[in-house]
């Protein structure tokens, strides 16, 4: 089966599972178009991990499923996994029931403003007292520093910049070639060095634009970003060190 069909089928399955769970908390929700986020294509290992954890959850192996959702997929910016981690804390599936931790995970899952996640986040938040909300704030900030979109993208950006520096060590092919040819580190095929470099630059620019938009700072050219990574990381640390939820209905009265 082609990968695109496999991925589409799996995403439909994830969406259906999610809607069933959401319906237990917020009846009448509709499917959102999840916001795009520049992670690049899912690799085969991540796809296998997603399939494995969903199978574990369906079989009732909640402890193992929770571990994979929270420690593997959620750390990659997988919003479904972040939601599931919170859901399992809320329901006490594989872990001790803990609505404070559940809300913290719901809040990180809702950072792309998917209406379903926002609705669940707000509904559960309204059940907490002041002390519990304060604890939720603390846990949420910790999660922002570890697996918010901007942190994940910065990690990918750093990896791309490192790859741009190292790809030149790829094998050069015939000495009489009219242009420099390298082995593409992604595909293993012989391509021009410019082709690889331009692909990296496109990815870098997309990710840099995402970061600068989130930080609301001036655009940075992909060619120049390597010299500004330290200052970008500092800004990201400041950005994720405060509670960053939108103020829509977060602390609305019950």
E strand segments, 108-233: 181-183, 190-192
CA atoms of 189 and 181, how far apart (whole Å): 10
Kindly report whether the global pTM for this prediction surpasses the value 0.85.
no
What token pair was written down for 147? Answer: 């697996």
User: Residue ranges of the chain with pLDDT lower than 70?
Assistant: 1-42, 167-193, 246-254
- Tell me the domains of the chain and their CATH numbers: 3-147 (1.25.40), 149-240 (no CATH)
CA atoms of 137 and 131, how far apart (whole Å): 10
For residue 87, give the nearest of 71, 104, 75, 68 by alpha carbon. 104
Would you say 119 and 100 are in contact if contact means Cβ atoms under 8 Å apart? no
Please give the pLDDT value at position 32. 37
Q: What is the pLDDT of residues 64-80, one digit of tens each?
A: 999 999 999 999 999 99
Please give the pLDDT value at position 59. 95
CA atoms of 104 and 100, how far apart (whole Å): 6
CA 103 to chain centre: 17
CA atoms of 54 and 59, how far apart (whole Å): 9
Q: How far is CA 101 from CA 53, 67, 222, in A?
A: 20, 14, 38
């Amino acid at each position: 089966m082609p990968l695109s069909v496999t991925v589409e089928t799996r995403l439909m399955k994830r969406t259906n599972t999610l809607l069933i769970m959401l319906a237990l908390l917020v009846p009448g929700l509709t499917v959102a178009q999840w916001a795009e986020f520049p992670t690049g294509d899912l690799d085969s290992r991540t796809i296998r991990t997603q399939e494995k954890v969903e199978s574990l959850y369906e079989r009732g192996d909640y402890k193992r499923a929770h571990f994979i959702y929270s420690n593997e997929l959620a750390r990659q910016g997988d919003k479904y996994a972040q939601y599931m981690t919170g859901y399992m804390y809320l329901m006490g599936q594989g872990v001790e029931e803990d609505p404070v931790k559940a809300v913290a995970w719901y809040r990180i899952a809702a950072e792309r403003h998917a209406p379903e996640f926002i609705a669940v986040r707000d509904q559960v938040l309204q059940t907490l007292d002041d002390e519990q909300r304060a604890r939720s704030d603390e846990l949420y900030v910790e999660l922002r520093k570890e697996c918010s979109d901007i942190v994940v993208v910065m990690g990918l950006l750093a990896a791309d910049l490192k790859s741009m520096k190292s790809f030149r060590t790829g094998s050069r092919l015939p000495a009489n070639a009219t242009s420099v040819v390298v082995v593409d580190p992604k595909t293993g095929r012989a391509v021009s060095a410019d082709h690889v470099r331009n692909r990296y630059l496109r990815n870098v620019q997309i990710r840099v634009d995402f970061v600068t938009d989130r930080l609301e700072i001036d655009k940075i050219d992909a060619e120049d970003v390597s010299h500004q990574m330290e200052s970008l990381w500092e800004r990201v640390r400041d950005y994720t060190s405060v509670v960053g939820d939108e103020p829509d209905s977060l602390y609305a009265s019950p």
